[in-house]
Every structure is written in C-alpha cells, then in structure tokens.
Structure 1
Amino acid sequence: MPRPRIGVVVVTMGNRPRELDALMASVARQSVPAARIVLVGSATPLTDVAYDDVIKLPLADNPGCPGARNVGLRTLLDSGAVDVVVELDDDGLLIADDVFATVQQLHASDPALGIVSFRIADEHGETQRRHVPRLRASDPLRRGLVTGFLGGGHSLSVPMLRQTGLWAGAFRFGHEESDLAWRALDAGWKILYEPGLVLQHPKTSPARHAVHYRFTARNRVWIARRRLPLPLIPVYLAVWITLTLARIRSLSGLRAWCAGFWEGVRTPCGDRAPMRWSTAARMTRLGRPPIV
C-alpha cells in the first residue's frame, strides 16, 4: 500500500520571525519530506520570509486562525498532491525528525484514522492538563482514541476533510477543533492522541488573547446549536455555565464571557447538523460524553 503524501500548513501573523524560522527548519529536517508546504500570512505580506519550496499565501486581512488555515487547506486539497495535512502553530517546534514518518505510518495502517493529535510540551517536556484531549488528563503519555484534538499540532486525513468539510471559519478563535472533531466522529472517523509525536511549544494561557472569554462563550453556544441533539443542548450549556462561574476570577472576564454567551444565543451559528445519538454514545464510551 502506498504511503500517504504529507502536506503542511502553517499560519503566521509575522510577529514571531525567530520561532517561525526554527519551525520551518524543523519541518525541512524531517526524514520524510513534505510533498507540499503552505505558509499563510494572516494580515501579513510575507515579504521578509524566504524558504525553499514553500507556497506563500499572504492575506490582506486576518480571518482568524481557522479561516486562515482553510486557505492553506483549500490550496492543498485543490492540488491533489497530498493525502494527509499536518498543521502546526508558528511558535511550535518539531524536536524529532521522524514526526512525518510516524504520521505517514499511522494513517497508512488505518484508513479510518481521520485525525492524529500531537502532544504539546514546553522546553522542559511538561504538558499542561488542558493540552491532554481527555477528561482524565493526569497522564499526558497515555496513548489512545479520543474525542478531540489539539489545534497546535495535528494531522488531518484529506479524505476525511473532503467528507466533513474544513474548519468553521466563523469561530475565529476557540472550539473550532471541537466542531471539526464532532463532525469527524459523526462521519465514522477515528481520532488518535499520539503522545510520541511532540510539538514543543512555550507554556501559555488561552486568556492571553483579548477575545478569549467572549469567543469561548459564543463558540460554545454555537457548537451546541450546530452539533448537539436538542435534549443535550441545555445540559451542555448548563455544565459550562457552572464550570465557568467556578473558574473565572476576573469580573471583566466574566462580563466578556456573558456578552459572548448572549452573542452565541442571538447570532446565526451556521448550518445545524446534529450528531447522531450513536455518536454521542460512542463519545461517552471513549470517556467524554458531549455534555462536557
């Protein structure tokens, strides 16, 4: 069986030139070379970057991370030259040179494998709990099938993308991974968390983004309206309201979250395509029912 051809998409805003150079060098060092590499400049002209055999796609504005990634994905899908796409944060780093080889082997061995989630670790090898895509996150080295994946480093099957569609660009920031993961699971694809595939990434907090609380709340409402069976929508939202009230320590953050929640209720969320009950049951068996 022929090994799948690897494509790469990296999105940058041009504000991390040293990190981007290091990432692109680590991509070039892979033992299995990528068939296509796409660098998307989100509101940046990419005039100061020069990499061999890289397709540069500068955008005049910033459509948000999922929207910018879609530009790269469409380019790769239209080319017909790749079977699996690896997407990487521009401040990440591949510390091993066999990442693409392992991704290739994993997808070749299981045609139903739609998504492989890498492990995100800082320069000391530590993985934050929020970067382990399961509820029981105490062991970041435990491999297995999961219901979600990490946006910073992952691979996506091209046949899966042709079936499920691309990222939910309107989300801009936050929970776009869940929206794509739920679509993939509902279409019968598998998601694998493979901790042996490491993307080194500095330790951060999502709250560093000014829009974190607003988009987090809005997009949770949107994903519930888009993907959940009607009886599960109030349960899912009630769980997240409770968790948010328990976790938020900032009054301004709570105000932004509440504004985002009502924005999610009032504004169009896109086409509604609720998952099947059998998918909800499958997610529950995998350890994360679609209510939390």
Structure 2
Amino acid sequence: MPLPRIGVVIVTMGTRPRELEALLASVAAQDVPAARVVLVGNATPLTEVVTTATRIPLEENLGCPGGRNVGLELLRDSGDVDVVVELDDDGLLIADDVFRRVQKLFAEDPALGIVGFRVADEHGHTERRWIPRLRADDPMRRGLVTAFLGGGHAFSMPMLRQTGLWAGEFFFGHEESDLAWRALDADWKILYEPELVLQHPKTSPARHAGHYRFTARNRVWLTRRRLPAVLVPVHLGVWMLLTLVRTRSLTAQRAWWGGFFEGVRTPCGPRRPMRWRTVWRMTRLGRPPVL
C-alpha cells in the first residue's frame, strides 16, 4: 500500500519574514519531501519571499481559516496529496522526520482524520493551553482527544472532503473546535501526538486585535451551529462564568460581552448539531462539549 502524499499549507501576513524563512527551510529539510507546498499571503503580495512553494497572494485578509481554505482548496482540487500539514508562519519543525512520522500514522489507521502536534517554545516547554485536553498536566501523554491546536496539525484529505474545510467566517478563534466537532461527528479520530513537535514562541492569544470579541462571538456561533439545543445554554453558561473569573480587565470584559451579543444576534451559518452519540463519545474521551 503506497504511503500518503504530504502537502503543506502555510498562511502569512508578511509580518514575520525571518520566522517564515526558517519555517520554509525546515519544511524543505524533511527526509520525506512534501509533494506540494502552498504559501498563502493574507493581504500580502509575497514578492519578497524566496521559495519554491506555490505562492498565492491575496488582496484581502481572509483571516487564518479563510486563508488556509485557499491553500486547502488548491490541494484538494489538484489531487496531488492525501494528507495536509498546516503550520503557523512563526513555527519551526525542529526534527527532519516529521512528515515521515505523519505518513506512517495515517497509513496505519484509515479512520484517522486529524493529528495534532505538540507545540513547545524554544526551551522545549509546552504551555497548558497548548495541550488539547482538560487534564493538561502531562504534555507527553499521547492519545485520542476531542480537539487540536491550529498552529501545527495534519488533516486527512478524505476527511476534509467529507466534513468540509475551515469555517472561514470565524476569521479568528474557535475554528479548530468547529472543524474538530464536525470530524468527530463524522466518526473520524483526532490523535494528539507529542512526538511531533512544532517549535513556537511563547505568546499570548490576546496579542491579536479583536481577540476577546472574536472568541466570544465565535463561541456563540460554534454552539448555535454544532450543539444539540439543550446543551447550548449549558455550554454558554459555563463559559460566561469562566470569563468572569479569568478576565480581570474591564476593557477585555466589555469586548468579550460585545462579541457575545454579536454572536447571539448575527447569522451563524448552517445549523448541523452533532449527534448524541458524538456527545457521549466526547465525554468518554474526557471532554464533554459543555467545557
């Protein structure tokens, strides 16, 4: 049986030229070469980037999920790849066997839909928020999970053809949850593999403009789109309480509540709630979809 062909999608806004150059070099240094590498420029012409990758400059900033969709659509329609690796433009592959390991994982399990990488800073430390499970005490614990980190992961192309691509309208925040929940509801597996490492600088998600607004709006959209009706107020109630406890800044709280009510009153896209068997499956995996 032939090993799956690897494709790579990287989205950049052109603000991290040194980091992007290093990432592209680490992709090129893999001992199993990618069949296709696509570099998408969100509102950037990519004229200064020296690369053999397929460059797609966009006039408009489509956000992270929208930009990634452009690359995914190209690879999906080309038929050149079976597995897509997506990487943040300020990340770095510190090992040269990442693609070979990814190939093996997907070849061994046809039901595998998503593989999440372990993200670690330059000192090898993995922050708790980078571990896709509630019990985040051990970043080296491998296993099936209900979520993945957007900075470094691999997708099965057959899965994407079934589930659809990123929710581009989210722009930033919770697009990973939307895709993960769709994948689980379609009976695909999500594996957290800590041996696959993406080195990434330690940063705060609040560095992004509109962080609190987008995360609140998108959480409401996510629950309206994907949860059984009875679980929607439960999920949102839990996150209201957590936000009040965790967010000390009044400015941040105002932005969060503004985003929350925006999510309530604006269209969220097609509603396709997950099955109750998926709710039970997520609960058994350690994270019911109310947390």
> In structure 1, what is the equivalent of residue 138 of structure 2?
139
User: Which residue pairs with 1:186 in the alignment?
Assistant: 185
Measured after TM superposition, the shift of residue 61 of structure 1 is 0.8
Partner of 2:229, secondary structure, is coil
Q: Look up the match of 2:88.
A: 89
Residue 259 of structure 2 corresponds to which residue in structure 1?
A: 260
The alignment status of 1:212 with 2:214, answered yes or no, reads no
User: Offset at 1:50?
Assistant: 1.6
The code of the aligned residue for 1:4 comes to P
Deviations 1:132-180 (CA, angstroms, capped at 9, x unpaired):
0000001000000000000000000000000000000000000000000
Q: Does 1:2 align with 2:38?
A: no
Letter of the 1:190 counterpart: K
Which AA in structure 1 matches 2:114?
I
Deviations along 1:68-110, one digit per CA (max 9) or x if unpaired, are: 0000000000110000000000000000000000000000000
- Cα RMSD for the two superposed structures: 0.4
The 2-side partners of 1:81 and 1:93 are apart by: 24
Question: 1:210, CA displacement in angstroms?
Answer: 1.9
Give the match for residue 20 of structure 1: 20
Aligned to 2:171: 172
Distance 2:262 2:148 in 1: 26
**TM-score normalised by structure 2 residue count:** 1.00
Letter in 1 for 2:189: K
Q: How does 1:187-266 map to 2 (within 5 A)?
A: 187-266=186-265
Segments of 5+ residues of structure 1 without an aligned counterpart are none
Q: Secondary structure at the match of 2:193?
A: strand
Q: Secondary structure at the match of 2:3?
A: coil
**Whole-Å Cα distance in 2 between the matches of residues 177 and 138 of structure 1?**
22
TM-score, normalising length from structure 1? 0.99
> Who is 2:105 aligned against?
106
1:77 aligns with 2:76: yes
Which residue type is aligned with residue 2 of structure 1? P
**Counterpart in the other structure of 2:128:** 129
User: Structure 2: 5+ residue runs without aligned partners?
Assistant: none
How much has 1:36 moved relative to structure 2? 0.3
Pairwise CA distance, 1:249: 1.1
Partners of 2:29 and 2:186 in 1: CA distance: 35
User: What does 1:48-63 correspond to in 2, within 5 Å?
Assistant: 48-52=48-52, 54-63=53-62
Cα deviations by residue, 1:29-53 (Å, 9 ceiling, x for unpaired): 001100000000000000001212x
Instruction: Tell me how many residue pairs correspond in the alignment.
Output: 291
What is the identity percentage for the equivalent residue pairs of Structure 1 and Structure 2? 76
